[in-house]
Homo-oligomer: A and B are copies of this chain.
């Protein structure tokens, strides 16, 4: 009799797990339960779907349940796993469409329950289970219409439908992280007057303030209103339960659309209840094979920690790249193969209008908070040879351990070419390179792509002084 793998959650980590387990083990029975109406979609593409740059939400879907079925992977949409009984290797499944509920067995289990959006006090998640065909998130937290999060594909569909139907004029985004800023661009593209309210005194709080400032300037140049170091106190609605104003410590902002973009926390209630151990970060702790403390139970993606290669501790940096890698490893091991996930260095990037802002490793403030003695270097270079038209500034910051000269982190803000360049720094971090070794790299040069001294080499040379 073939073994049975159950995967809870059908986004990046869950479907990578299922796909990899299938490749590793053709005999395994593989079942995926997904709470929402979609699996295997590009969550990071939601801002571009809302803006209309991506026409159809189906374009975001990499593979449909039918396509997975063709590979022998059984996908159940609108099904929620509500209980894990590890001692019996059983779990309880609820069909959200008809309310039916039953126990069933697993041999291997992969928890890929993802993250849940952080909300304002008084809001609850998940909202009432979506009914089939009903994708609009209404009445979230009892606040009334016009208040959204952007997490699942259905959230994106709901925001876009709302904008098309209600033609809101003023959007307020609460939160100035990646999703907040990407959505500010989307709303702006759609003609909404857009305000971003953020609690920290800067946007993109993982970046150092000097680098974040460049992004703030870009947002302001494009007409986004920023209210930073500010805190939302209340959302005011009208008689119809539609949001009308956001009241913050600094003032009141007209709003007929509010997006809560306050980040995510690991969605671990189910696993925790079953006795799955969490790490310091509050996400599920795993070993390099993505095994949890419970036999036969793995975890992957935004519900799990990742080992941070710089700090040597578990980190919670929920990103699709990591989810996919962890899913592959969990799937390999759950399928009976062997794989390990070595860890992350915390690489991330966002595009905000014409700027990319990318980081890897530790920021200066993070390094200092962790007790490192660091030297930081920030340079401004050109993205192309000085004579080649169309270039723009590229800002590079390197954070270097004083005693050893080892690179601890890097940040890049600039136009084209800023993105893949962070990958060179990420590679340097994986390899524990010093800034001197960085300065010696034989990097490519052609005038449309860089000055003869690549911005990374300029930064390394300045850091060496």
Contacts and interface: CB of A to CB of B under 8 A. Distances in A.
A419 B444 contact: yes
A433 B45 CA distance: 32
Contact of A388 (B54, B62, B345, B453): B54
A447 interface: yes
Contacts of A446: 44, 349-351, 356, 419
A431 interface: yes
A341 B149 CA distance: 53
Most chain B Cβ neighbours within 10 Å, of A53, A429, A443: A443
B449 A351 contact: yes
Nearest to A321: B445
A161 interface: no
Interface in A443-465: 443-450, 452-454, 456
A44 B445 contact: yes
A344 interface: yes
A411 to B, nearest CB: 12
Contacts of A126: none
A447 B356 contact: no
Contacts of A136: none
Interface stretch (A105-113, A236-244, A291-299, A434-442): A434-442
Interface stretch (A218-226, A250-258, A420-428): A420-428
Interface string A101-141: 00000000000000000000000000000000000000000
B430 A442 contact: yes
Given A12-B452, A44-B452, A444 B431 contact: no
Interface string A47-67: 011000110000110100000
B45 A447 contact: yes
Contacts of A454: 321, 423
Given A42-B385, A53-B389, A351-B449, A423 B426 contact: no
Which interface residue of A48, A347, A441 has the most chain B CB atoms within 10 A?
Answer: A441
A48 B443 CA distance: 21
Interface residues of A, number: 68
A262 interface: no
A247 interface: no
A312 B437 CA distance: 18
Contact of A427 (B53, B424, B453): B424
A280 to B, nearest CB: 20
B426 A443 contact: yes
A325 B452 CA distance: 10
Interface in A378-420: 385-389, 416-417, 419-420
Nearest to A44: B447
Nearest to A357: B446
A196 interface: no
B416 A441 contact: no
Given A360-B444, A387-B54, A428-B427, A449 B419 contact: yes
Interface in A171-204: none
A445 B349 contact: yes
Interface of A: 12, 42, 44-45, 48-49, 53-54, 59-60, 62, 309, 319-322, 324-325, 341-351, 356, 358, 360, 385-389, 416-417, 419-424, 426-431, 433, 437, 440-450, 452-454, 456
9 tightest Cβ-Cβ pairs between the two chains A and B = A420-B420, A349-B444, A59-B387, A419-B449, A431-B431, A427-B427, A347-B442, A344-B442, A423-B443
15 contacts: A12-B452, A44-B446, A45-B387, A62-B386, A309-B442, A348-B444, A349-B446, A356-B449, A419-B444, A419-B449, A419-B450, A421-B423, A423-B454, A427-B428, A430-B442
Given A44-B447, A420-B450, 16 more contacts: A12-B452, A44-B446, A49-B387, A54-B388, A54-B389, A59-B387, A321-B444, A347-B442, A348-B444, A356-B446, A417-B420, A423-B444, A426-B442, A426-B443, A427-B433, A430-B441
